[in-house]
Amino acid sequence: MKEEGASMQPAIEISHLSKNYGSRQALRDVSLSVKPGELFGLIGPDGAGKTTLFRILATLLLPDAGTATVDGFDVVRQMTQIRSRLGYMPGKFSLYQDLSVQENLEFFATLFGTTIDEGYDLIKPIYSQIEPFRNRKAGALSGGMKQKLALSCALVHQPRVLFLDEPTTGVDPVSRRELWEMLINLKEKGITIVAATPYLNEVRMCERVAYLSSPDEEAKNQSSVKGIGTPDELITRFKGVFNPAPPSKAPTGPEEPSAPQNVIEVSHLVKAFGSFRAVDDISFTVRRGEIFGFLGANGAGKTTAMHMLTGLNQPTSGRGSVMGFDISREYEQIKKHIGYMSQKFSLYEDLTVAENIRLFGGIYGMDEQEIKAKTDSMLAYLGMEGQRDSIVRKLPLGWKQKLAFSVSIFHEPGIVFLDEPTGGVDPATRKQFWQLIYDAAARGITVFVTTHYMDEAEYCDRISIMVDGKISAMGSPEELKQQFALPDMEAVFTYLARQATRKSD
């Protein structure tokens, strides 16, 4: 315990902190403080340095200049003291996928010289929800359950300070809300929490927020911190970033008289794994040039359905066709006539931008001359001419996602499948991404998209919402809001998702 009066000192104190990676400046002259027991948000575009700041505060990186303290201890000289007082959920890795739920928790407890029993009172409200799956491998859990386990692992040693780097990316709206309710309960126990998030409703749940911009985009000698204040103050000040106008939808071109109206037709489709029906008797159609949103909570069955439509898996029963090809018998033909952007893999990170384009162009059967001509025009359209020879892993996430989408439609397919394409991307970049989607739809490419951002659901022509393997609702955003007498798509999604009876895990 700290001596009396120590609680008046900031829980986190950062003064003139800077960090470079070679010639690239990730953080420039960052100064801010966080009060004890405060729920503090870090917001800003991709490449603003939020993850770098977390890693410095978690003593995983050394700063190039400036100082920082966590719970009164210096991040350079007193690493050991900080690590015993700190809980950290990084954005990418925090669980061992091949270990069970209980084995993960035991491992993290052992790292901090404690036991699950000693820390159980703090994690009980969170861990009790996943404890029935204690023997299941972490890799087999849904997104929401993984995050609850990761949070339990970060808290098992009863830290005083908790760092969360975009903890709900890829998690459905209901699970996101549950996790943030847990964070508020932890704050009430006196734990200081610093969380980065791209979701506007999560920003509003913080007491104060700091907005960081990319130093590369700022004038020389300006701080990366552009503002600190309440959520309303920052959202108003940077409304162009957090409330960007919707993308502009161009009218679609005229239909060819001979072109079939529907590019997807599904009738009573079922996919069973043993006695479990992941997809349970769904039927729908998707029209040519339509932007079709395919929504559902983690574990609702939408990814399984998408795998059948893209030829990656075959149905147990029922019928379906994509671009006129039968999904049970002609799945290899389907793969040649569609585009696909996966949530987890879309580009080769060790290749350059141009090398990725050339590789995928060759896979799609395009000749060298056509690839070269289309590469020049595509990079000009994306404003990425200067990144032609850049290694993909060094690009900001938003640029990677825009490039991955453009590569997925490089061969002008009749339909492109997008599996949560904007996860973890800031609002302004997401708007740019959706402008690319609208432009593709205007050229007649059908877009089949899953997303956990409910503002993006508003951009779709029609939406289906899956619950427990079935389609519970379908229609335009306006039709669904009117049908359920609810104000927005987040409310519609939450209302339907909470009617689920089966466990997603």
Per-residue pLDDT of 453-488, as tens digits, reads 898 999 999 999 999 999 999 999 999 999 999 999
Q: What is the pLDDT of residue 216?
A: 55
CA dihedral sign of residues 172, 174, 175, 181? positive
Beta strand 12-21 with 24-34 is antiparallel
40-70 core/surface letters (b: 16 or more CB in 10 A; e: else): bbbbbbbbbbbbbbbbbbbbebebeebebbb
- Is the distance from CB of 450 to CB of 306 less than 8 angstroms? yes
Given strand 415-419, what is the order of strands in its sheet? 338-341, 415-419, 446-450, 291-296, 462-467, 470-475
Supply the pLDDT for residue 218.
52
Beta bridge mates, 503: none
Residue type, 207: E
**Residue 470, token pair as written in the block:** 């079935």
Q: In angstroms, rounded to a whole number, what is the distance separating the alpha carbons of residues 133 and 152?
A: 14
Low-confidence ranges of the chain (pLDDT < 50): 1-7, 219, 505
| Tokens 């739809």 found at | 441
DSSP code at position 391: B
Residue whose tokens read 């087999």: 140
Instruction: Give the per-residue pLDDT at 57.
Output: 97
Nearest to 407 by CA among 367, 363, 449, 438: 363
| Per-residue confidence (pLDDT) for residue 501, from 0 to 100 | 80
Residue-level pLDDT at 259: 55
**pTM given for the model:** 0.82
**pLDDT at res. 293:** 96
Q: For residue 429, what pLDDT is reported?
A: 82
Please list, in sequence order, all residues whose beta carbon lies within 8 angstroms of the beta carbon of residue 59, skipping any fewer than 6 positions away.
75, 79, 82, 83, 86
**Residue 464, amino acid:** S
For 350-378, write each residue's pLDDT tens digit: 999 999 999 999 988 898 999 999 999 99
What is the C-alpha separation between 311 and 55, in angstroms, rounded?
Answer: 40
Give the distance, in angstroms, between the CA of residue 323 and the centroid of all CA atoms in the same chain: 29
Helix (H) or strand (E) holding 25: strand 24-34
